[in-house]
Structure 1
Amino acid sequence: MLKISPEQHWRGIVCTVFALFLLATVASSQISDRVGRITTSNIEYGQSISIKVELLQASTLEKIEIAYRQFGMREFSRAEMSITANIATVNLPPEASLPPFLEYYLILYYSGKELPETFPVENPEQAPLRITIQPTLQEKSRIIILSPDPGESINIEDLLISVSLSQFEFSTTNQSVKVFIDDIDISNGILRYGDLIIVRPQNIDVTLPEGPHQSRVYIFDSTGIGIDSVTWSFSIKKPVSELPLAPITVSPIRYYGSIQLETRQENISASTTPYNRATISANGSYKDYQLRSYLYLTNEEKNYRQPQNRFLIVAEAPWLKFGYGDHYPTMPDLIMNGKRLRGFFANLTQEKFSLDIASGTVTRKINGLISTPFPDSLLSSEQSGDPGATFQLYDTTSGNRQWIKLKPGTYERDLFVIHPIFGKRLGTHWGFTYLKSKDDINSIQYGIRPRENAVFGTDVLLSFDRQNFEIMGQAAFSAVNNDITKGSFTDDDIDSIYYDSDEGDRRNIKNLRDFFSNIITVNENLIPLNAKNVPTLSYEGGIGLNYFNNTFRFTYLRHGESYESFGHTYLRPDVEGYSITDRLRLLKNQIFLSTGYERLHDNTSGAKPFTMNTNTANISISYLPIINFPNITLSYLYSSNKNSAEITDSVFSINDRTNRVLLHVGKEVTYYARHNLYFTFGTSLRNDHTPRDMDTRSTTVGLGSTSTFEFPLQTTFNITVNSNRIARSINEKTTITYTTIYASGQYQLINKTMTLTGSLSPTFGNIERYLVSLGAQYKFWEYLTARTEIYLYFNQKFFNNMNPTNDIVWTFSIRAEI
């Protein structure tokens, strides 16, 4: 085991105190009494993006959405997040991870509130949150790693850093070579035998502790310019005498299971809410066959809310995957994306044919509420007192009509979707999609306007030259009925509506009704009832090229004004335009240049009095050197919104310009510990050229470090300053400025069986708050762990609440694994 000297303990304490002293002089990050903490992993280009949000006051939260956009895009896409306990999670598709960053904000819907809240609270579209996307070095290094193997665990006495330069077309005899372990330069110990480079760290008095390490090799030409580099990780084993003896079992059968019990108490705004939860998972495999199951139970499950309990069971073979429970089917994104479905799903994958199918419910029934019946004579006064309410005739049998005030319930909505694919799933293919979704009229007694939806779509991908040249496209046509209460037209309805048509025309209309009513209810609430301008047709098409260190994409899209799919409720309708992006790799993948342009407009059917035109242009340059120098990304974005109304029209005119500049600098250094340092700066200025003059400005400056010490201590420090100028109305403009410090630490002791955590986060300015958290985790055995945490929020002032209350959150959980 790792021996920790008193000097190392003292060194760690001094470093921690010094860092806290620095942080006490400056400060800030986004502040909210709804969102506690957001975590993401380091993302590279082409990877899916996982985001986890820790929520406060989750008991009244009905739904949370994430609005996100790729670098250079004007419009935000949306997806619904999955809520489990006080944690909301979402996995964004790989297409969203385009360098240099992804922007996003959260939209929170609370019961009893008409309008949703956002995080960040102020000006989220102009000052969203960002996730840095690391470019992928698509050219493989020509340096061949010989020893140690990437990921290898090796004894310290056997460690030998060795690489081969035989893949270079020119002689490397006169080239300069640098070798590092972590940030220690061991180049003075290099031995060269032709194309072979060898360094034995023990020969130059370099001491490496047990645990993970990173080796880097750089090659420079005679002028000092970097030619190539390679980085890989390995780890140093514990001494043999300390290795535990364990039997080696080789079996094709593997299994894993866990159960976690948690209790949580939230005292928020002087109101205490208890949470009790259980999470059970069990996984097993036999060779290439897997079985996975998951069950989550909570006391938040109520019959007046959408499901809070979750369950899922999945069986998987190399060519087939199927399951039942709560899941998020992914189909062509015009039709199905980001929607939770409780039911059955299956994915079949063959060489020349694949099939995706899902069936279940997307909303469960919630009964409506009614008031005490009142007579006809009081109807006018009741309507005047609550003009936004729904009133329904309740009883006419007594001779005196009785009315009720109705809070409509939610119908159970069923959904079925099927997607056959002819060709290779990830290569050239042609697919078709059919989606059918309908509200169950009989599921509740008190509801209004049950709806029905049918969508037909097709998608195609033509892939050539090892996917370096691709042509892709998809199209979908939807039909929506906004009220199926009375069912389809009867013959008498058609005769009455089309009374001035001859008998033959009415017969043809009845035949069409008979045919289409097998697909969707046909009445006056059906969209489209006419095909002029094809308002329910949407399509997208594009081309992708990946040549000469360029990644080029062109996309054209049109979403009809009335297009709607119940499987993708966040798709923006009524938009048409194109986008162009290009990413260029230069100087042996050390410089990445990204550019883009997007032009969109609405009013696709010409029915609106004004047409909105949006233009977005962007450029970003990233420098990721192979030498020991900081990574730097600098971005500039310009966007404009302008409609066809006269600029002097103070009511309908829209004419604004937005300029944004973003800078990110990151560096890993070693000084008593390994520190990942970063500095960020962002500013956004929106100029409103209409008579309303609703200008906004946002500036953020951040500085932070994550540090890993030689002894079991990890620390994180963040300093952020936020300043936002918001125009609430023509005559009211507000500036909100605040600074936050965030400092946290994690320390392991008692042979790493106990982990202590703590954080301190004061906020100053227009927002004043102090956050203190303490936590402890103890591992009784390898399979049994207990953890407790307490969060104390000392709220002094929020910009929308000058007298907030202090809040306390306490959790305790115990986890067992097999």
Structure 2
Amino acid sequence: MRMFRTFLAFLAVGMASVALAGSPMIFHTELQPVVAGHSADIAFNISSFDGDVYEARLFYRSRGASDYRSTPMRQEGLSLTTKIDTKKLTPGHIEYYLAMQAYDGRVFYYPAVDPQNNPLSFEVIAGAEEPVNQALAEIIVLSPEPESVVPQDEMLIAVSVPDENLDIDPARTRLLIDGVNVSQLVNNEGILYMLTPKKMAVGHHNLEFKIFNSSGNLLGKKEWSFRVSSSGNSGAAFTSRTNFYLDNRFQNISKQQDNFLRAGLNFDGAYKDLDIGLRLQYNNNPGYSSQNATRYSALMAYNFTPRTRVYVKGGDFSGNYDPLTFWNRRVLGVSTGLKSAWFDLDVSLGTTANAVEGSATQDSSGAEVVSRYGTYKETFIAIRPVFNFGRYVSWGLNLVNGKEDPGSIKYGANPRESLVMGSTLNINLDNNRVRIKSSVQASIRNTNARGKVEFDTLAKQFDIPSGVKPYVDLLESTGFLTLSQGLAPIPSLALQAEAYFSYFDQLLKVAYKSIDANYTTAGNPYLLRGVRGLYVSDNIRLLDNQIFMNLYFNAYTDNLSQEGAETDNKDFGASISYFPLTNLPGVTLTFGNQSRINNADPNNEALYREDNSTQRYGLSSSYKFNTASVKNTVTVSFNNFTRDDRAIATNQSSFNVFSLGLRNQFDAPFATRLGFSQTNSTFGSGATASTTEIARYDGGVEYLYKNSSGNMSLKPFANVMLQQIKGSQSYNRLNYSAGAYLRTEKFGALSLRWDYMDYSDLAGVDWKDTIVNVRYDVTF
């Protein structure tokens, strides 16, 4: 299913779903256009899933960018939610998709088919009087207070970034003490950043804290001074922070009732030169194949100096070496390492899946036939030394190995193995204006590790010279790989290089990636493989940041795994946005053209032939005005998508989308929202052409109450949405939601949300679904 098939299905039901065998059914409502500077609220709801969610991430990018950014999604029962801060995004279309990893290691996507090339999208509209990339994020200094005097034994550095929607890249966060970079020692938990330096000299000191987004742009900074005095007592202060949450979701979906309960406890503490951390999460749903849904982990670190420490962590953890090697993969085991100014080392050992037996039945002859494949126990090893040369260059080596144990279960598919070895090089020059990131990796995989074969058998199969045998024997002797019939000793390669240049009010990015289709790593379940090409984008600011231009050109080949159907892509486009500093409307114009072509044999049904081009045009505007004490924002947008398919005429398609929105902010503080959109689509040509019309009406109201001291807030809200679909199936969909968020400084936060969805007009369906979510969260 290619882009416009996915888009048509998405529009046709308004809230699309995926329901594959053994896969979750995922519901998602498309986003209305968002004014730049406001947050984009994205939510997915899951039902009919026989597993547990270990982690869900939202991948998003500005259209034309080479790589997706990602942000973890918050899980409340089976609701996955997140917010995207649009302050740092270029106005135009934002593409996104969901990636979700289950506890058994399976990964699911939404959209389900090729989501990187067929993503969902929403539009960011330029807003008046809100030029982006100017206002810095708020950073609150908690300790030590500016110009204060702090005893040595009470020294704690703590800052808070209250905006939870910022796209903060933790790897770029910087904390400098008297000009010395101690960022690697900072503990980050949610909006809190904390460090307990152990050996600060008596006297005057200066602190500087900076946060950056994933593109390297500065989001916020804070600089202040204080003085350290000699200790007032002989004992060192113990500091700690504890967070507890309880989350319950009741749902009645498709006349099936379920209740899900989660609870968690997070603890961070510091005593003298020792830091400790504990994590525990309970889930009442054991889920698919008894993979452990309860997470637990512990961390202990010892600080020799402000820039040098050793650590050990056990239980559930994930790594962040490099996207091509070890990145956000759940491991249950132990990790230990060293962080310093000149040398870093990490060694991680554990398992990524528990062994769970499959099942079998007997056929008429009495032979066993596997009816459900089980899950093998998979052992995991990752090693990474990094050599740092000041703040400018870091060079790293890595080894990642994953092995499924053939003897761990009786009924399973072929057990697999993989080994990745390679190097990374990062360069930072001219005060972060020039940044180069590169990674080169080689992977050897084994698609069937059951049994053993002689080297001569593999040499004949792959035409390998006899001189390679010592190296194959060496790999087998390490225990990383098994010399079996599924071993492919010829390595698959992966290369990714990115260069950023930030000069003259513009950010130029040039990237090249080449990832073989057979490249395999046990450390990144989300990796896109089988792609090779060049990606160039340039963000330009003009006229005192009133005009923003985004230009992009991508030329790449995907489907590398399908011989004869490798597809060449050309994707280019531009957007220009006007952010007036006066009381005028903000305007954004967008244009894009994407072409896909391959030489697939039209008589081969196993290959998908492509020869098409898609053009996109868009015009959007927003205007802010006041009526008495009411602040109003009106938005309007129109987009046209036209696909010319020369390979399959029935895939010809055209979409026109018009939307109108109004938001009112009263002094109360009370806010209302009204929206309307009309979509007209045509798919196919001639007698097979079909048309669909979708009208959407939505509205919402919210109220924010804060007491006089500011330590308590209450936010009730209510929303309604009606969709009227006319096409091959005509029906209405009605959705109500209401709830409240209560936050207190002393007793924590309590949230309640109720959703009701009615599909009663859909032929053959009598669905009236209800979801109720309650969550309590407290930190002390």
Residue from 767, 770, 773 that aligns with 1:805: 767
1:796 aligns with 2:760: yes
Residue 710 (structure 1) aligns with = 667
Shift of 1:52: 5.7
| Alpha-carbon separation, structure 1, partners of 2:277 and 2:571 | 45
1:323-342: CA deviations, max 9, x gaps? 33444422222222343333
- Equivalent AA in structure 2 for residue 85 of structure 1: G
Alignment partner of 2:407: what SS? Answer: helix
Q: Distance in 1 between matches of 2:315 and 2:71?
A: 20
Q: CA deviation at 1:477?
A: 0.4
Structure 1: gaps spanning 5 or more residues: 1-26, 142-148, 153-230, 233-250, 380-400
| 1:539-578 mapped onto 2 (5 Å cutoff) | 539-578=495-534
CA displacement, residues 22-60 of structure 1 (integer Å, 9 cap, x when unaligned) = xxxxx9994246436799999999xxx998634242654
Residues 1:334 and 2:298 are matched in the alignment: no
How big is the shift at 1:293? Answer: 3.5
2:474 is paired with a residue whose SS is helix
Q: In structure 2, give the amino acid aligned to 1:103.
A: E
Q: Which residue of 2 aligns with 1:526?
A: 487
The correspondence for 2:572, drawn from 617, 621, 626, is 617
SS at the partner of 1:304? helix
Q: Deviation at 1:295?
A: 2.4
- Aligned 8 A contact 2:659 2:675 in 1: yes
Partner of 1:453: 418
Q: Tell me whether 1:741 sits opposite 2:698 in the alignment.
A: yes
Match of 2:551 in 1: 595
Which of 333, 352, 371 lines up with 1:362 in the alignment? 352
- Say whether 1:31 aligns with 2:32: no
Whether the 8 Å CA contact 2:32–2:122 is kept in 1: the answer is no
Letter in 1 for 2:660: L
Aligned letter for 1:703?
L
Please say which of residues 737-746 and 476-485 is displaced more in the overlay: 737-746
Task: Label 1:648 to 1:452 Cα distance change in 2 as closer, same or farther (>3 A).
Answer: closer
CA contact (8 A) 1:683 1:698 kept: yes
The answer to whether the 8 Å contact 2:700/2:717 transfers is no
- 1:85–1:298: 8 Å Cα contact kept in structure 2? no
Q: Give TM-score scaled by structure 2 length.
A: 0.70
CA distance in 2, matches of 1:287, 1:70: 46
1:563 Cα deviation (Å)?
1.4
**Distance in 1 (alpha carbons) for counterparts of 2:337 and 2:107:** 38
Counterparts in 2 of 1:605-754, with a 5 A limit?
A: 608-645=563-600, 653-671=609-627, 672-727=629-684, 731=688, 733-746=690-703, 748=705
Alpha-carbon offset, residue 597 of structure 1: 0.7
Deviation at 1:637, TM superposition (A): 1.0
Query: Which position in structure 1 is the counterpart of 2:173?
Result: none
Unaligned ranges ≥5, structure 2: 1-10, 18-25, 142-218, 221-235
| Aligned counterpart, 2:409 | 444
Q: Shift in Å at residue 691 of structure 1?
A: 4.3
C-alpha change, 1:119 and 1:682, in structure 2 (3 Å) is farther
Query: In the TM superposition, what whole-angstrom CA distance separates every residue of 1:137-182 from its partner, at most 9, and x where no partner exists?
Result: 67899xxxxxxx9989xxxxxxxxxxxxxxxxxxxxxxxxxxxxxx
In structure 2, do the counterparts of structure 1 residues 706 and 252 end up closer, same or farther at CA, with 3 Å as the change threshold? farther
Query: CA 1:471/1:792 → structure 2, altered by over 3 Å: closer, same or farther?
Result: closer
Identity percentage over the alignment?
Answer: 19
In the TM superposition, what are the counterparts of 1:398-437 in structure 2 within 5 Å?
402-423=367-388, 427-437=392-402
Mapping of 1:192-203 within 5 angstroms? Answer: none
**Residues paired across the two proteins, number:** 644
Q: Which has the higher strand share?
A: 2
Distance of aligned partners of 1:748 and 1:538 in 2 relative to their CA distance in 1, 3 Å threshold: same
CA change 1:679–1:425 in 2 (3 A) is: farther
Query: Would you say 1:71 and 2:63 are equivalent positions?
Result: yes
Q: CA deviation at 1:483?
A: 0.8
**Closer, same or farther in 2 for the Cα pair 1:448/1:308, shift >3 Å?**
same
When structure 1 is superposed on structure 2, of 334-343 and 121-130 the one drifting more is 121-130
Taking structure 1 as reference, are residues 708 and 778 closer, same or farther at Cα in structure 2, changes over 3 Å only?
Answer: same
| Structure-2 residue corresponding to 1:350 | 340
In structure 2, how many angstroms separate the alpha carbons of the residues matched to 1:40 and 1:295?
A: 37
Does residue 514 (structure 1) correspond to residue 473 (structure 2)? The answer is yes
CA distance 1:297–1:39, change in 2 (3 Å): farther
The answer as to whether partners of 2:43 and 2:82 remain within 8 angstroms in 1 is no
Tell me by how many angstroms 1:522 deviates: 2.0
Report the alpha carbon displacement of residue 678 of structure 1 after superposing the two structures with TM: 3.4
Task: Kindly report the root-mean-square deviation, in angstroms, between the aligned alpha carbons of the 2 structures.
Answer: 4.8
Q: For residue 654 of structure 2, what is the amino acid of its counterpart? A: R
Q: CA deviation at 1:300?
A: 1.3
* Partner Cα distance (1:760, 1:742) in 2: 6
Q: Distance in 1 between matches of 2:115 and 2:496?
A: 31
Aligned residue identity for 2:513: L
| CA 1:93–1:739: 2 relative to 1, 3 Å | closer
Does 2:738 correspond to 1:774?
A: yes
Instruction: Give the 3-state SS of the residue equivalent to 1:473 in structure 2.
Output: strand
| CA displacement at 1:287 relative to structure 2 | 8.9
How far the C-alpha of 1:82 sits from its partner, in A, is 7.5
What residue in structure 2 maps to residue 462 of structure 1? Answer: 427
Report the equivalent of 2:160. Answer: none
Asked whether the 8 Å contact 2:420–2:444 carries over to 1, the reply is yes
Cα distance in 1 for partners of 2:698, 2:12 equals: 5
Quote the Cα distance in structure 2 between the aligned partners of 1:656 and 1:537. Answer: 30
Q: Is the 8 A contact 1:97 1:133 kept in 2?
A: no
User: Which is further off, 279-288 or 421-430?
Assistant: 279-288
- 1: distance between equivalents of 2:335 and 2:30? 31
Decide whether aligned partners of structure 1 residues 721 and 361 sit closer, same or farther in structure 2, where only a CA change above 3 A counts: farther
8 Å CA contact 1:29–1:722 kept in 2: the answer is no
- Which has the larger displacement, 749-758 or 564-573? 749-758
SS at match of 2:320: coil
Aligned-pair CA distance for 1:268: 0.8
In structure 1, what is the Cα distance between the partners aligned to 2:379 and 2:114? 37
Q: Quick check: 98-107 or 552-561, which moved more? A: 98-107
1:516 aligned counterpart, secondary structure = helix
TM-superposed deviation, 1:773: 2.6
**Superposed displacement of residue 658, structure 1:** 0.6
Q: 1:472 to 1:814 in 2, by over 3 A?
A: closer
Offset of residue 796 of structure 1: 2.7
Q: Which residue identity lines up with residue 609 of structure 1 in the other structure?
A: G
Q: What is the letter of the counterpart of residue 761 of structure 1?
A: M
SS at match of 1:693: helix
Report the Cα offset of residue 269 of structure 1: 0.7
Which TM-score applies when normalising by structure 1? Answer: 0.67
CA–CA distance in structure 2, aligned partners of residues 464 and 617 of structure 1: 29
8 Å CA contact 1:39, 1:53 repeated in 2: no
1:409 Cα deviation (Å)?
A: 0.3
Paired position in structure 1 for 2:229: none
Q: Which sits farther off after the overlay, 631-640 or 645-654? A: 645-654
Task: Report the secondary structure of 2:321's partner residue.
Answer: coil
Q: Secondary structure at the match of 2:287?
A: coil
What CA distance in whole angstroms lies between the structure 2 residues aligned with 1:475 and 1:43? 40
Q: What is aligned with 1:299?
A: 284
Give the drift of 1:446: 1.6
Give yes or no for contact 2:590–2:618 (8 Å, CA) kept in 1: yes
Match for residue 153 of structure 2?
A: none
